[in-house]
C-alpha cells in the first residue's frame, strides 16, 4: 500500500537552515560533501522537524541558531558564525562543543544525533553500509506464509 | 487512506462533529483497545478517539525515520528532564505503542503483584489475575519464537550467557509465527506481531465500536461533578487544527499512557484528592552497549529480542540484544565526521545489547499550558549504580561471545577491548550525568489504590470522586513492574472491563 499523503514539511528558516547545513557538513562522514548529500540531509531534517509539536520545533530551531551564533564566542572563530567558519575551525568548534560535560554539551550531542540520524536515513547511505532490509523482509514474509499459511489464515478468521 | 468500517479519519471530516455513545475511550493502545473490544462485545455503544493516524499493516516498511514521524509522538524524541535526561518514546497511532513495541509479552511477576497489594490494591494477586493473563495470551497468540527466525545477534547473546553460565530465557512474544523481519519498532510489515492494530481494534470495530483517528482530545467534560464526555479536535496534516469533535458519553475511559493520561486529566481540571495525579512516574531506564565482532552478524536478520538474560533479575537488571536500524544507531554513536563513518561502516558486524533496570525512584508529569506535558525524572544514585552494573554485565556477556571492541553509553568513554580495560575504566567513578539513558516503559502517574488518600483510582481504575471516569493504561501501576508492561496492562483492562460491564446499570451504559 502506498504511503499516505503527507503534508509539506515546515520549511526551515534561513538561519536555521544555514546552521543545520554546516552541522551536517561537519558532523556527518565526509561523503556528505563528496556525494553532495547535504541537501538530502536537510530535506530529511525538515521532515523530522515536522513530526515535532510546535514548541519543540521552535526549540530545536533556536538551538541550531544558538550553536551558529555561539561560535562567535569561540576564540579561534574570531567572531564568525559557525556557518561561516572554514572546515578546520568548524570541526574544532563542534569538537569543543561535543566534548563539554555540561548542558551545552548535552544539547550539542542531541543536535548532532538528529543530524546524523537524517544522514543515515538516506537510502544510498544505508546501501553503502550493507543495510538492505526490503528484500530480506520480502523473503522472510514469503517463508512465513509458505511454512505456516493455513494456520495463520485460520487464526485470522477466528479473530 | 481508507480503513475498516467504523473508522473515521481527519480527511473524512469537513465540519465540526457531535456524537453520542455509552462509553468514550481516549486512546487505542493496549488498555484502550482491549477495553473497547470487551465493552463493544457486551453490546455497549463504544467510541474510541485516537490522536494518531490509522496506518495499516501494508503501509509498514523498514523506513525507520518515516516510522518515527508517523507512528510515534514527537518523532520518538520525548525527554524526561533530569541529570542525565532520559529519552523516551511513545507510540501515537491507531494501536498505540503496541504497534511499535518489541512484542514482549510477560506477566507481572508475583512478587510485584504482592508489593502492589500492600499499597491498597485489591484483587490483584497472581491467582486472581491468572484468568485475565490467560485470556490476554490467547487473544494475542503469546508464545515462543519459531527457531528459524532467531538471528545471529541473539544467538551470540545466548552463546555469551552460556559461556558465563548465566540464566537466559527465550522471550515470550505476542506473535503468530513471527517472520523475524526485525521491524517491530517501525510497525510489523507482516501483521505477525499481534498488536492492537490487528487484534483488539478490529475486534472492537467488528462489534460495532466507532473509532475517530487523527483527533486529539483536549478535555474531559463534566456536569454536576459527573463526566459527560470529551471534547477534541481533529489534527490536519502538519499538525494544523481541524474541525472539533464533541462526544457525549455516560462514561469516559482515559488510556493515553503514563504521560498523556495525567496531562489530559489535569488540563480537564480533574486533580485527584490524593494529590497523586501526575506523580509517581516510574521508568525502566535502559542503557545500550555497542559491540563489534569479527564475523558478519547482520543484526537486522532475525527477530527483535529473542532472549532475555535473567541471571540478575533479583537485582532488577535484565539484559537483551536489540538491533537498531542505522539512523537510530548513528544517532547514539559517540563520534562524528570521519570517525562516525568508520564506526558505521562496520554496521553488519555490530551487536547492540542493553540492560533494562527497574527504576526505584519516582518522577513527575506536569502540565504547562501551551507546552503540554513536561516530564521530570531524576535517576537515583542507587539506580545509576544498577545501570553501571548492567552495562558492565552486558559488556561481559558480549566479550564472552567474542566481541572485539565495545562502545559504552557514557559521554566521553573510550572504546574498550577487554574486560580488564573496562574494569580499569570503571575503577574511576563514572559521573551519573554522563550516562546515556532511554526508556519505553513509563508507568504510575494515576496509580490505583482503594484508599483515595493514596491513589488516583480505585483498584478497578475508577477515578476517585468522579463518577463515570476510568483510567486503563500503565498509569494505574502502583510501582515499577520490572518487566515489559503490555500484557499486564491488557490483563487489567480485561478485568476492569468485566467490572464495568457488571455495573453497567450504575453507569447508565
Q: Where are the domains of chain B?
A: 7-68+89-141+184-273+443-507, 147-172+282-361+380-434
CA–CA distances in Å: residue B477 to residues A103, A146, B124, B350, B446: 33, 42, 11, 36, 8
A112 contacts in chain B (CB < 8 Å): 336
Mean pLDDT of A55-72: 95
Tell me which of A27-31, A136-140, B2-6 is least confident: B2-6
Catalytic residue among B284, B441, B464, B507: B441
ipTM of the complex: 0.94
Q: Do B69 and A101 touch (CB under 8 A)?
A: no
Q: With cut-offs at 50, 70 and 90, classify the pLDDT of residue A6.
A: low
CATH fold label, B147-172+282-361+380-434: Cholesterol Oxidase; domain 2 (3.30.410)
- Return the pLDDT at A3: 42
Hey, do B7-68+89-141+184-273+443-507 and B147-172+282-361+380-434 end up sharing a CATH topology, with the first three levels equal?
A: no
How do residues B133-190 score in pLDDT, each as one tens digit? 999 999 999 999 999 999 999 999 999 999 999 999 999 999 999 999 999 999 999 9
Out of A2, A116, A147, name the one closest to residue B336 (CB): A116
- Return the pLDDT at A5: 46
Q: Do B371 and A55 touch (CB under 8 A)?
A: yes
Judge whether residue A100 has pLDDT over 80: yes
Judge whether residue A4 has pLDDT over 70: no
Question: B112 or A9: which carries more pLDDT confidence?
Answer: B112
d(CA B230, CA B380): 38
Question: What chain A residue is nearest to B176 in terms of C-alpha separation?
Answer: A152
Which one of B53, B337, B352 would you mutate to disrupt binding with A, by most A Cβ within 10 Å of its Cβ?
A: B337
Closest-CA distance of chain A to residue B131, Å: 19
Closest-CA distance of chain B to residue A5, Å: 8
Question: A24 or A158: which carries more pLDDT confidence?
Answer: A24
- Return the pLDDT at B1: 65
Instruction: Please tell me the CATH superfamily of domain B7-68+89-141+184-273+443-507, with its number.
Output: FAD/NAD(P)-binding domain (3.50.50.60)
Give the B window 37-96 contacts with A, CB below 8 Å: 53, 55-56, 58-59, 61-66, 68-70, 72, 74-75, 77, 84-85
In degrees, to the nearest 5, what angle opens at C-alpha B78 toward C-alphas B76 and B82?
150
B411 contacts in chain A (CB < 8 Å): 101, 105, 109
Q: Do B345 and A129 touch (CB under 8 A)?
A: yes
Q: Where are the domains of chain A?
A: 14-128, 130-159
- Return the pLDDT at A7: 59
d(CA A63, CA B480): 34
- Return the pLDDT at A11: 83
DSSP character at residue B482: S
- Return the pLDDT at A159: 64
B441 is a catalytic site residue? yes
| pLDDT under 50: residue ranges of chain B | none
Question: What predicted TM-score, i.e. pTM, was given to this entire model?
Answer: 0.96
Amino acid at each position: 500500500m502506498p504511503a499516505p499523503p503527507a503534508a509539506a514539511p515546515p520549511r526551515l528558516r534561513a538561519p536555521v537552515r544555514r546552521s543545520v547545513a554546516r552541522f551536517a557538513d561537519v558532523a556527518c562522514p565526509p561523503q556528505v560533501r563528496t556525494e553532495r548529500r547535504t541537501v538530502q540531509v536537510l530535506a530529511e531534517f525538515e521532515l523530522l522537524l515536522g513530526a515535532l509539536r510546535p514548541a519543540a520545533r521552535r526549540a530545536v530551531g533556536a538551538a541550531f541558531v544558538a550553536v551558529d551564533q555561539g561560535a562567535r564566542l569561540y576564540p579561534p572563530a574570531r567572531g564568525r558564525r559557525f556557518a561561516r567558519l572554514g572546515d578546520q575551525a568548524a570541526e574544532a568548534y563542534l569538537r569543543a562543543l561535543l566534548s563539554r560535560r555540561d548542558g551545552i554539551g548535552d544539547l550539542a550531542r542531541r543536535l548532532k544525533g538528529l543530524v546524523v540520524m537524517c544522514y543515515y536515513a538516506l537510502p544510498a547511505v544505508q546501501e553503502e553500509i550493507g543495510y538492505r532490509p526490503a528484500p530480506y523482509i520480502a523473503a522472510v514474509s514469503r517463508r512465513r506464509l509458505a511454512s505456516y499459511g493455513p494456520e495463520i489464515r485460520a487464526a485470522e478468521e477466528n479473530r | 487512506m481508507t480503513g475498516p468500517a467504523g473508522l473515521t479519519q481527519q480527511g473524512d471530516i469537513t465540519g465540526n462533529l457531535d456524537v453520542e455513545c455509552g462509553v468514550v475511550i481516549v486512546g487505542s493502545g493496549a488498555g484502550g483497545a482491549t477495553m473497547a473490544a470487551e465493552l463493544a462485545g457486551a453490546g455497549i455503544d463504544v467510541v474510541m478517539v485516537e490522536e494518531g493516524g490509522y496506518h495499516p499493516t501494508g503501509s509498514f516498511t523498514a523506513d525507520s525515520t518515516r516510522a518515527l514521524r508517523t507512528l510515534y509522538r514527537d518523532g520518538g524524541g520525548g525527554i524526561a528532564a533530569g541529570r542525565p535526561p532520559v529519552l523516551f518514546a511513545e507510540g501515537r497511532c491507531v494501536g498505540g505503542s503496541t504497534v511499535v513495541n518489541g512484542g514482549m509479552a510477560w506477566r507481572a511477576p508475583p512478587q510485584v503483584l504482592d508489593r502492589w497489594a500492600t499499597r491498597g490494591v485489591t484483587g490483584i494477586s497472581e491467582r486472581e489475575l491468572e484468568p485475565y493473563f490467560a485470556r490476554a495470551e490467547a487473544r494475542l497468540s503469546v508464545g515462543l519464537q519459531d527457531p528459524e527466525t532467531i538471528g545471529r545477534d541473539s544467538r551470540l547473546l545466548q552463546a555469551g550467557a552460556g559461556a558465563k553460565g548465566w540464566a537466559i530465557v527465550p522471550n515470550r512474544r505476542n506473535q503468530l509465527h513471527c517472520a523475524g523481519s526485525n521491524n517491530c519498532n517501525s510497525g510489523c510489515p507482516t501483521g505477525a506481531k499481534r498488536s492492537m492494530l490487528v487484534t483488539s481494534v478490529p475486534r472492537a470495530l467488528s462489534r460495532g465500536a466507532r473509532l475517530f483517528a487523527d483527533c486529539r482530545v483536549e478535555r474531559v467534560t463534566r456536569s454536576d461533578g459527573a463526566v459527560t464526555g470529551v471534547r477534541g479536535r481533529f489534527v490536519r496534516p502538519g499538525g494544523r487544527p481541524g474541525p472539533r469533535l464533541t462526544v457525549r458519553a455516560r462514561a469516559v475511559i482515559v488510556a493515553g499512557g503514563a504521560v498523556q493520561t495525567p496531562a489530559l486529566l489535569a488540563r480537564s481540571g480533574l486533580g485527584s484528592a490524593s494529590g497523586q495525579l501526575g506523580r509517581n512516574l516510574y521508568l525502566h531506564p535502559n542503557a545500550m552497549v555497542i559491540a563489534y565482532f569479527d564475523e558478519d552478524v547482520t543484526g537486522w536478520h532475525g527477530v527483535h529480542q529473542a532472549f532475555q538474560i535473567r541471571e540478575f533479575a533479583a537485582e532488577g537488571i535484565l539484559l537483551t540484544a536489540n538491533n537498531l536500524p542505522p539512523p537510530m544507531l548513528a544517532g547514539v554513536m559517540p563520534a562524528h565526521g570521519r570517525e562516525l563513518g568508520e564506526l558505521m561502516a562496520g554496521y553488519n558486524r555490530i551487536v547492540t545489547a542493553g540492560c533494562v533496570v527497574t527504576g526505584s525512584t519516582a518522577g513527575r508529569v506536569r502540565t504547562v499550558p501551551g507546552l503540554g506535558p513536561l516530564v521530570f525524572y531524576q535517576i537515583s544514585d542507587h539506580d545509576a549504580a544498577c545501570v553501571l552494573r548492567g552495562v558492565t554485565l552486558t559488556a561481559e556477556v558480549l566479550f564472552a561471545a567474542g566481541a572485539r571492541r565495545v562502545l559504552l553509553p557514557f559521554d566521553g568513554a573510550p572504546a574498550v577491548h577487554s574486560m580488564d580495560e573496562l574494569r580499569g575504566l570503571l575503577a574511576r567513578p563514572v559521573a551519573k550525568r554522563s550516562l546515556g539513558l532511554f526508556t519505553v516503559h513509563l508507568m504510575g502517574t494515576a496509580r490505583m489504590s482503594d484508599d483515595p488518600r493514596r491513589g488516583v483510582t480505585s483498584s478497578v481504575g475508577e477515578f476517585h470522586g468522579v463518577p463515570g471516569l476510568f483510567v486503563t493504561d500503565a498509569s494505574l501501576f502502583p510501582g515499577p513492574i520490572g518487566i515489559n508492561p503490555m500484557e499486564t496492562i491488557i490483563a487489567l483492562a480485561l478485568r476492569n472491563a468485566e467490572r464495568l460491564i457488571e455495573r453497567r446499570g450504575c453507569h447508565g451504559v
